[in-house]
Amino acid sequence: MKDTNQTTETTKDSEVVEDSSSKKEKRGIPRHVYILVAVAVVMTSFASILIRLAGQGIDRISGSLTPANPFVIAFWRLLFATFGMFLGAVASRNLKEFKKIKVKRDIPLLVLSGLMLAIHFATWNLSLQVTEIASSMTIVYLMPFFALILSMIFLKERISWIQFGAIMLAMVGAFVVGLSDLLFTKNLLGVSVALAGGVSAAAYFVIGRKMRERLDVFSYATIVYGICTIFLLVIVFAFPDSRHVLIAGLKWQHFLLFGLLALGPSCLGHTLYNYSLGYVKAPVITVTALFEMFGATILAYAIFDQVPTYLVFIGMALVAVGIIITVVYENKAMKKQMESPVMPAEEISEG
């Protein structure tokens, strides 16, 4: 009788699992995730503009203001963002979620995620000060492809030959943009640091995809932003040019821009991306940021009168086509995976 009861309970459990799984398949990605990702794209579109304004573009606000160091900009942005996310956790009464973090299991990945985010902000901020915004954005936003490659290696996800071809197409596009910088501005530094910013951002999102499976967005973002802030402080003190201007020379206009960077692109933009990672794969999330590249280019023209060269436009078009192809086939693969039948428990154990 015990065996019969256990079999009945197992059958009921499997039916519940199958029923919830079928509901999930029908539901797919919740609609609110699309809305939140759209908001994130809009918020992050202003990041490069605000960073440029706080740095070399500060004379647009006042000629008497001194440009903030790119590493200093990153530090203050993340410091304010950390406090913002902690306040969000308090307001939403999610402080208990921090207790779910396991030291041996989670801390190493959280530290690595914070390090990757620090490298991303440090290198990208620097690239925005030394090269055109359109060039920097196009190269940095190769991160969907770096994310796809890292997902294949560390998350054991596969790609089709068509996706591989799309990756190569986008790489050619980024090379064209980089070539434009080298030909017209001889700016090897701008290209190099922008590329480093793209790779580190991809690693940050891939780690986030893994961590968001078990941590809520407030606990994950607060800790990662805090760790990132510490690494950025180390970077600031590692360079004499930034060490002496951490506070010196900064006015209320600088801190206003730092606060706007923390509130918009970080607390809303990046955090909404992190939230969405609980529902969608990292390459798909990072690819939506493509629209930031175009939005930032338009804003750069409107605010800083930066007109990209024809090579930049060609490169951006190639990157866009490559990213679109990748997303289309990634979504098809996800749909096929969701529609594939789940093997019964008995068949799995026998196999």
| Among the ranges given (34-38, 232-236, 324-328, 347-351), the one the predictor scored with the smallest mean pLDDT | 347-351
* 14-65: pLDDT as tens digits: 444 444 334 444 445 677 877 888 888 888 888 888 998 999 889 889 889 9
Whole-number pLDDT of residue 175:
73
pLDDT at 260 over 60: yes
Task: Please list the alpha-helical segments (H only) found in the chain.
Answer: 2-27, 31-45, 47-54, 70-91, 103-130, 133-140, 143-154, 161-184, 188-211, 217-238, 240-243, 252-261, 271-276, 282-288, 290-304, 310-339, 345-350
Half-sphere exposure in the Cβ direction for 81 (13 Å, CA): 33
- Give dist(CA 213, CA 193) in Å, integer: 31
Domain range for 209 is 32-131+188-306
Whole-number pLDDT of residue 12:
47
Non-local CB neighbours of 113 within 8 Å, separated by 6+ positions: 204, 207, 208, 211, 224, 227
Q: What is the DSSP secondary structure assignment for residue 131, as one 8-state letter?
A: S
CA angle, corner 341, sides to 337 and 345, nearest 5? 120
* 262-273: pLDDT as tens digits: 999 988 888 888
Tokens describing residue 204: 């940050």
Mean pLDDT of 71-93: 93
What are the angstrom distances between the C-alpha of 302 and each of 52, 137, 260, 282, 297?
Answer: 13, 16, 19, 32, 9
Half-sphere exposure in the Cβ direction for 148 (13 Å, CA): 26
Whole-number pLDDT of residue 225:
95
Whole-number pLDDT of residue 5:
52
Mean pLDDT of 280-300: 70
Give pTM, 2 decimals.
0.75
Banded model confidence at residue 82, pLDDT cuts 50, 70, 90: very high
Q: Which of 77 and 328 is assigned the larger pLDDT?
A: 77
Whole-number pLDDT of residue 343:
45
Q: Does 172 reside within a domain?
A: no
Q: Provide the phi-psi class of 305: left if phi over 0, else alpha when psi is between -120 and 50, else beta.
A: left
pLDDT at 328 over 80: no
Tokens describing residue 222: 């607060």
3-state secondary structure of 342: coil
Q: Does 45 reside within a domain?
A: yes
* 89-134: pLDDT as tens digits: 898 887 888 888 888 888 999 999 999 999 999 998 888 877 777 7
Query: Quick one: what percent of the chain has pLDDT higher than 90?
Result: 23
Check if the beta carbon of residue 115 is closer than 8 Å to that of residue 199: no
Q: Does 114 reside within a domain?
A: yes
Residue 133's CB: how many other CB atoms inside 10 A?
Answer: 24
Q: Does 274 reside within a domain?
A: yes
Q: Does 325 reside within a domain?
A: no
- Give dist(CA 73, CA 151) in Å, integer: 30
pLDDT at 190 over 90: no
- Mean pLDDT score of the chain: 78
- Give dist(CA 49, CA 56) in Å, integer: 11
Q: Does 343 reside within a domain?
A: no
Number of domains the chain contains: 1
Q: Report which residue type is found at 1.
A: M
Q: Does 235 reside within a domain?
A: yes
Q: Does 2 reside within a domain?
A: no
Mean pLDDT of 189-217: 84
Tokens describing residue 213: 């499976």
Whole-number pLDDT of residue 226:
96
